[in-house]
Structure 1
Amino acid sequence: MIGLPPTLRVFVATAPVDLRKSYDGLARVAREALGQDPTSGHLLVFSNRRRDRIKILYWDRDGYAIWMKRLEAGTFRWPAPTADGVEWTPAELAAMLGGIDLKATRRRPRFALAPT
């Protein structure tokens, strides 16, 4: 897996997306469904209906890049659909890619700054 800094934000589209979409199509979904700027540098994560494939779109200084994973067996455990998606930490993304069910885990309380 790619090493990700803990300050990176990860936005997950919980509704299924047609993964035949490429750079511009996924950027449009990021703007319309997630309300996120695809050129922000954050990771934007999409899955298909069967939950056996994901694509991650991100802006890499001078253009879009896509990372894709297809499972040969099994599925990714995906969050329940919401209108505006979900935000994960890079650690949660890495766990999900590694096959860990995030619903079966429990997050210990930590300090967090109040949103501004």
Structure 2
Amino acid sequence: MRQGIDSLAYLVKSQFNLYSFSGQVYLFCGGRKDRFKALYWDGQGFWMLYKRFENGKLTWSNDENEVRALTSEQVDWLMKGFSIRLK
């Protein structure tokens, strides 16, 4: 979770072959699964949101190379600390 905006945008492109300027929200989870970062391009610049849970952890895949599309409802649940079902 030490990477900043530029590093995460590069990771989206180089490792996952996705376009970080697409207007999609990209979520990244820390190793302890108690925090995550969200990266979003709004057309003029990047936004980065950082959230750390004081109690509990996220239900998150252990595969660092896995990319999943989430619904807006699933993202909302994650930000509130609820588990989501990952297929």
TM-score for both structures, normalised by structure 2: 0.87
1 or 2 for the larger relative contact order (CA 8 Å, sep ≥6)? 1
Cα distance, 1:56 vs structure 2: 0.4
**Matched residues, number:** 86
Matched, 1:68 2:38: no
Give runs of aligned pairs for residues 17-96 of structure 1, distance below 5 A.
19-81=1-63, 83-96=65-78
Structure 1: 5+ residue stretches without partners: 1-18, 105-116
Structure 1, residues 26-85: CA drift from partner, whole Å, max 9, x if none?
001111222211111100100110011110001111111101101112111113426341
| Separation of aligned partners in 1, 2:22 and 2:69 | 14
Larger radius of gyration: 1
TM-score for both structures, normalised by structure 1: 0.67
> Which 4+ runs in 1 deviate beyond 4 A?
none
